[in-house]
Amino acid sequence: MAKKLIKKKNLNLRYNLTTVITYIFGIVLIVQLFNLQIVHGEEYREQSNTRLTRETTLEAARGKILDRTGSVLVTSETTFGLELYKSKVDSDTLNNCMLQIVNTLAKYGKKAPDTFKIEVNPYRYTIEGEELAKWQQDNEITVGKTAEQVFNEFKQKYNITTTNLEDARKIIGLRYEISRKGYSSTRAFRLADNISREAVSEFCEKSAEFPGVTIVVEPKRQYTSGTVASHILGYTGKIRQDEYEAKKDRYDINDIIGKTGIEYSFEDYLKGTNGIKQIDMGVDGTASGEYVAQDAVAGSNIVLTIDANLQKIVENALAGNIHKISEGGFGKVYDAQAGSAVVMNVKTGEVLAMASYPDYDPSKFVNGISVADWNEYNNNPNTPLVNKAIQSSYSPGSTFKMVSAIAALESGVVSPDEQINDTGIYYLGDRGWRCWFYTDYHVGHGWQNVTGAIKNSCNFYFYEVGNRMGIDTLDKYAKYFGLGNKTGIELDGETKGVLASKQVKEARNETWVPGDTLNAVIGQGLNEFTPLQMARYISILANGGNKVDATIVKTIINADGTEVPREEIKKYIKEKLKLPDIEDDGTTINIDNINIVLDGMQSVTQEAGGTAYNIFRDFEISVGGKTGSAEAPGGKVNAWFVGFAPFEDPEIAIVVMVENGGHGNYTAEVVRDIMSEYFGMNIQDIYEDLSAKVYTESLD
């Protein structure tokens, strides 16, 4: 019994102790709350109302784009922007701030945002008719009110007390724009981009006069070589709404994003990771301190396979040749206005230079292209924004005949020594197909073997072998050289072209006929390929039949100095550009047959009578080549030249195509001069001033 009483007493003691502790803690809590809310409440509320912490974005520098030697083609320079956050200030202070912002920006050649549709001295609307009616409706303005009445209403709305009309107009203009777009203590209103360092200094020195105004440090894209390689590099622009919706986890609605070229293809690498800066500010907008909460990480650098110096030479040589053709420099005037050229390493498929004419200036897109510049580019019939080396396809004409020769030799329908007599007109049924030589000279080439047919570009010979082997055999070997398929170059917008075939005609609800084969075998008819495809085809020929993948990216270097693995780049670009898988059908080519065809190409440039002999007869390096003149819509004749050098141990393949260039021989000059630069011959530089100099040499 005693034990039970003792146990009960102990329980009561513990219960009472717990109750006491809880009671004491409650009293302490109440005292503390009283201290915070009553004794020091006003002080703490004042501190809370006068201190804000705002996060702002530290823009990461976009990665650079370099050539194979390390020369910088695209970089980012530091620029300054001006932003305004909402602050708790009275109307007079706010209006004075608005006026000072407008005046200070104007002092340094910048205009504050202003779309208010009324001017003063005298009062007048800047718009009229339906446009004015809509503006009045959007702003809930009674129709029929005068410009002065509306102006005074806005003046009263914004509590503007100044009697200076011009100053009042400046304040209304900026406040009206702010009310349209909105801002808050955490979301800024953009006042100006790319302001000068002098303007930055003044805004900082007089920060007390600019409550809520913040200077933003931003990287701005800079294209260091003007228009050089513009179609390769591409351009950037403000992100579209659909792009933002797909990338909002990494992008802001005001971000810049790659639109074309390398800028587009490698956006995910070029785009860096933004940092975070925290700013302590009072409610009046005065900054009291700032610090970096998270560092920005610059984007990766893209190293291209092109050589910037060679690229300049190629662009200038191409443009000069087009000017010469259009001015009758070869004895006859052709309306040549556009073209392209590609230089490729025959062993690796690396593009050393790729030009498209006319070109454009990517720097015009940096701050948003003007309407005038956009219209000039977009309405130009020669499409300067199109990369004609990969986005345009053309009938290859006689430059396709090496494929036809390989197909004929491989299929055994003709032997290397077999002679075919070109009588001038090839008859298939009751229709005659003329050799170009007969059209010009009213006689045929006479007896031709395969090398002679390539040298003289004899249509008759190829009509015969084409008729013997048929289109399916021809297609088989054209596909081996990658014709009619995308090359996989790391640039957007590449077209696959068209390889003439029964399947293509069937897709058009047409039937293949023998005459279609005759057109196809000489590179006409449905055949259309890009200059880049042609460069890869010539590279495969020149290197002995080894397939190569076209590439324009050497490597990618991350901000920490590490290199992106090649397989990762290939996988990324395949997904980015949605490139299809190309199956290998197991076709092989006998090296002896390739050498026979290459001998024919050498005779084009090195033997009298060759269609480019007059261009290369005194050249220091032995060249293999082929001219081509391909009929095009509108009665035009596109001019091609394809070549490689040195003949004994090929290093480079070069393809030039000029729209309506008249004759392939005319474009051979471009190839000769590019080779002179590549092999260090240092010929007379006739391309220094493209606007003033054109070729004047004429054909033999």
Give the pLDDT confidence of 166-182 residue by residue, as tens digits.
Answer: 999 999 999 999 999 88
pLDDT value at position 186? 75
Tokens of 213: 């105004």
Q: What is the pLDDT of residue 355?
A: 98
Domain harbouring 266, CATH code? 3.90.1310.10
Distances (CA, A) of 650 to 151, 178, 541, 626: 76, 64, 10, 15
Residues 470 and 389 in one domain: yes
Q: Looking at the domain assignment, is residue 498 inside a domain? A: yes
Identify whether the C-beta of residue 311 lies closer than 8 Å to the C-beta of residue 72: no
Does 654 reside within a domain? yes
Give the number of other CB atoms < 10 A from CB of residue 375.
11
**Whether 287 and 373 share a structural domain:** no
Structure confidence at residue 687 (pLDDT): 42
Same domain, 288 and 325: no
Predicted TM-score (pTM) of this structure: 0.82
Same domain for 323 and 240: no
- How crowded is the C-beta side of 260, counted as CA atoms within 13 Å? 19
Per-residue model confidence as pLDDT tens digits over 450-463: 999 999 999 999 99
Which pLDDT belongs to residue 57? 74
Residue 686 lies in a domain: no
Is 685 part of any domain?
no
Lowest mean pLDDT, pick from 14-18, 230-234, 467-471, 599-603: 14-18
Q: Do residue 389 and residue 348 come from a single domain? A: yes
* Tens digits of residue pLDDT in 574-595: 999 999 888 888 999 999 999 9
- Pair (425, 355) in one structural domain: yes
Query: How far is 174 from 106, CA to CA, in rounded Å?
Result: 13
Range of the domain at 154: 53-304
Residues 413 and 532 in one domain: yes
Mean pLDDT for the stretch of residues 439-446: 94
The domain boundary residue, chosen from 304, 327, 356 = 304
In a domain, 569, yes or no: no
Q: Is residue 562 part of a domain?
A: no
Q: Is the pLDDT confidence value at 6 over 70?
A: no
Same domain, 61 and 12: no
The answer as to whether 575 is a domain residue is no
Same domain, 312 and 242: no
Q: Which amino acid is at 563?
A: E
Tell me what pLDDT residue 426 has. 97
What CATH number has the domain bearing residue 461? Answer: 3.40.710.10
For residue 623, what are its two tokens? 């060249």
601 occurs within a structural domain = yes
Domain identity same for 394 and 414: yes
> Tens digit of pLDDT for each residue in 361-404?
999 999 889 999 999 999 999 999 999 999 999 999 999 999 99
Q: Taking 60 as the threshold, does the pLDDT of residue 26 lie above it?
A: no
The 3-class SS string of 334-402 reads CCCCCEEEEEEECCCCEEEEEEEECCCCHHHHCCCCCHHHHHHHHCCCCCCCCCCCCCCCECCHHHHHH
Of the candidates 311, 305, 358, 349, the one whose C-alpha atom is nearest the C-alpha of residue 674 is 311
Residues ≥6 apart with Cβ < 8 Å to 271: 60, 62, 63, 250, 251, 257, 299
Contact 548, 536 (CB under 8 A): yes
For the segment 689-700, the average pLDDT, to the nearest whole number, is 33
Alpha helices in 481-616 (DSSP H): 502-507, 514-521, 531-542, 566-577, 591-606, 613-616
Residues 190 and 230 in one domain: yes
What average pLDDT does the structure give for the chain?
89
Residue 80, CA distances (Å) to 77, 115, 178, 201 in order: 10, 23, 20, 11
Domain match, 370 and 277 both: no
How many domains does the chain fold into? 3
